[in-house]
Amino acid sequence: MTHDRKTAGFKERTRVDAARERLVSALTPLSRTESVPLGEADDRVLATEAVAARPVPHYARAAMDGFAVRAEDTFGAGDRSPVVLDVADEVGPNRAARVHTGSDLPGGADAVVMVEQVDVRRDRLEVFDAVAGGENVAPVGEDVAEGDHLYDPGHRLRPSDLGLLKSTGEDAVEVYERPTASVIPTGEELVTADPGPGEVVETNGQTVAQYVSRWGGEPTYRDVVTDDEDALREAIRRDLDHDVVVTTGGSSVGERDLLPEVLDDLGEVLVHGVALKPGHPVAFGVVEETPVVALPGYPVAAIVNAVQFLRPALKTLGHLPVEDHPTTEARLSRKIASEPGTRSFVRVSLGDDEAAGDESLPTAEPTRASGSGVLSSVALADGWVVVPEGREGYDAGTAVGVQNWEWSA
């Protein structure tokens, strides 16, 4: 895509789904793997098949507190005619040994009589209920047999999975590496602290870097790069060893919005301008096979685009599923408008439940400060309502879904 920032403008904007597909189709999931201790493998993605190296349990064990016996020695036992056995350290003909839940089943025993079914009188045991062979015993491999298939490559590991793997004798797993992301904030007005007139504290890069971590990536948060073509080129070239390069600011069509032109000079611009609000001046490109995501500079616009495009890019690179955000059904407290042909993300706060016919729904109150530069309108919201391209908004009282986009998955 040949790009001329001075004449192109945004006469045509790519639809959100098409833009996302164009970006994701340019990505190749990572093939790099690493061995990770189980204690550090939560939420990582398996790169190889997991097979049980040993059975669970790996020994026959008592499943109840009681006495280990030979089942045949208890035959005929009843409430009125108990069988009497000797209490001993070993199990043999007419001999029983005390066991506890989880104890190794003594040699010679094939069953356990529950403590509730016996009466102990010194070294003699009265058994009031017969048991069958294997009763109250957990055999070797009852839970998992040696060689059992546990998980396929691509499985996202959970704490319970890691517990199972540890029980089968594993202490580490082979997983895909996390995708690396360079996060480069841009803008000559940005400072790290104590802003003067005309200066702004840099927050977009920090915020995006933290989202990269939350979405399964490894961020490198770079220092601010000023609005200079040579400096921007050098910053992008420097980080092409990362799996994705993310910039914030300078993605529109103004005199200081240089990134689309720099991307076009270094590689290929895939998309510039997307039909979403806030944040339509987002751009994607590829430089020497490394994807570059140029996010808008306004904080809300940067977050909206990061969620819509950077999140699925990182998930795709890292072999993670792009799961839907949890949604709360709520009823709008007032009307919200949207531009036809544009997908709008309207920030809302959830209020108390209100009776609505046979159902009770919380209220969704659109934030009063709705500009794309008002970071508090996101930080203090509970989620956003997505107005699709085919609607001009929703009337007050309409039941809508509120997406919890801050959800970590």
Question: Residues 134-151: pLDDT tens digits?
Answer: 999 999 999 999 999 999
Asked whether residue 313 falls in the same domain as residue 331, the answer is no
Which residue among 299, 317, 335 closes a domain? 317
Q: How far is CA 17 from the centre of its chain?
A: 21
- Whether residue 293 sits in one domain with residue 181: yes
Q: Is 394 helix (H, G, I), strand (E, B) or coil?
A: strand
* Same domain assignment for residues 212 and 308: yes
pLDDT-derived band at 409 (thresholds 50, 70, 90) equals low
pLDDT at residue 255 tops 90: no
The string of pLDDT tens digits covering residues 341-361 is 999 999 999 987 654 444 689
Taking residues 269-290, what's their average pLDDT? 95
SS (H, E, C) 62-114: ECCCEEEECHHHHCCCCCCCCEEEEECCCCECCEEEEECCCCECCCCCCEEEE
Q: Is residue 295 part of a domain?
A: yes
Q: What are 401's two structure tokens?
A: 């879904």
Average pLDDT over residues 195-204: 90
Among residues of the chain, what percentage have pLDDT more than 90?
82
Shared-domain flag, residues 167 and 207? no
Q: Are residues 45 and 171 in the same domain?
A: yes
The arithmetic mean of pLDDT across residues 224-251, rounded, is 95
Residue 408 lies in a domain: no
Instruction: Provide the 3-class DSSP secondary structure of residue 314.
Output: helix
Same-domain check for residues 300 and 354: no
Both 182 and 313 in one domain: the answer is yes
Give the pLDDT confidence score for residue 316 in this predicted structure: 97
Q: What is the span of the domain harbouring residue 73?
A: 61-138
pLDDT at 358: 42
Please tell me the total number of residues recorded for the chain in this structure.
409
pLDDT band for position 377 (50/70/90)? Answer: low
Tokens of 257: 């919005």
**Same domain, yes or no, for 70 and 190?**
no
CATH label of the domain that carries residue 98: 2.170.190.11
Cβ distance 287 to 296 under 8 Å? Answer: no
Residues 255, 379, single domain; the answer is no
Asked whether residue 188 falls in the same domain as residue 250, the answer is: yes
Given a contact cutoff of 8 angstroms between Cβ atoms, the answer to whether 209 and 169 are in contact is: no
Q: Do 148 and 130 reside in the same domain of the chain?
A: no
Q: What is the pLDDT, as a whole number, of residue 352?
A: 77
> How many structural domains is the chain composed of?
4
Q: Which of 250, 284, 317 is the last residue of a domain?
A: 317
For residue 363, give the CATH number of its domain.
2.40.340.10
pLDDT, residue 359, reads 63
Is the bond preceding 278 in cis, omega lying within 30 degrees of 0?
yes
Q: Does residue 49 sit in the same domain as residue 159?
A: yes
Closest of 222, 207, 286, 296 to residue 256, by C-alpha: 296
Instruction: Write down which residue in 138, 164, 187 finishes a domain.
Output: 138
pTM for the full predicted model: 0.85
